[in-house]
Amino acid sequence: MSLTPNPLSEFLITESASKFKSANDFAEHVYSLISEVKEHRVFLFTEVPESWGRAAFEAVDESFPCRQTLDPFTHTLRVKAMLEYIHEIADQWMPLMVEKWRYQDNLLTQHERLLLSYVGNTTLRFTSGPCRGWTKSPDFTIQVEGQSFPSIVVESGWSEGYNKLFEDINRLIIGGDGETNIAILMNWRQRVNGVTGIIEVYRRDNTNIPQLLHREDIFPRPDPPTVSMIPIRRVDLFGRSLLTGSNPNDVLNLDLEILRNVATLGLHRMGLSPF
């Protein structure tokens, strides 16, 4: 067996599914690869029949905390294995934001708070619409009770291609049946002098197309220091489940300084420092 390292990233390994004889053979192979991984790797399997990809996706999904994307349009299966702390930054940052809105800013009622659940590494299956057949496990989501898709999704890429992250963000909004209103992209890169990072926040417009709301460097930190807030609206968070009598345009700020502090701790756990 020969796996081909991709020169664009030391973490990315590509392999064609065309050499396997059946869905079962391919799924067993993918499962075996993931079970043997000892450090962060991204596997990109090409020429994957959709039914084969689903078999492999389910086999991995049941046993390993990976992030997967099954794309029937490009016939690929992408698996991020042995996640780094930086992939899970949103798991810490976004719940802090919701609790801040509830208890510090007094912007959410107890009823509203109870409508929200945090879900990391959930599997989203797009069974209709323009993204039909696409299956994706985002890094983090906020789900509103009674809705099929999350209202907020986060994708965090570590030394991965920006274009791939952007493509996923677009599809998550376009395929989200009008329920996914905010998509957050975070991309991290290791440089000689430390780790850089950017954040981009996209909002769904009235035609279900993502529009860039905000873009900013996470690292390096701004000099001189500034109070960095990204405003989203109550209706972005609750969508169709917005409670009667509440103001849809109330502003809920995403605090980037808190994100920077959380990310710094995560990088330190990896033996790294911000740029």
pLDDT one digit per residue (tens) for the chain, 275 residues = 444 433 334 578 999 999 999 999 999 999 999 999 998 899 999 999 999 999 999 999 999 989 999 999 999 999 999 888 888 899 999 999 999 999 999 999 999 999 999 987 789 999 999 999 999 999 999 999 999 999 999 999 876 578 889 999 999 999 999 999 999 999 999 888 899 999 999 999 999 999 999 999 999 998 887 778 999 999 999 999 999 999 999 999 999 999 999 999 999 999 999 99
Task: Give pLDDT, residue 6.
Answer: 37
Residue 55: its pLDDT value, please? 97
Predicted confidence at residue 160, as pLDDT, reads 59
Q: Which domains does the chain have, with CATH numbers?
A: 4-81 (3.30.110), 85-269 (3.90.1570)
**Cβ pair 184, 154 in contact under 8 A:** yes
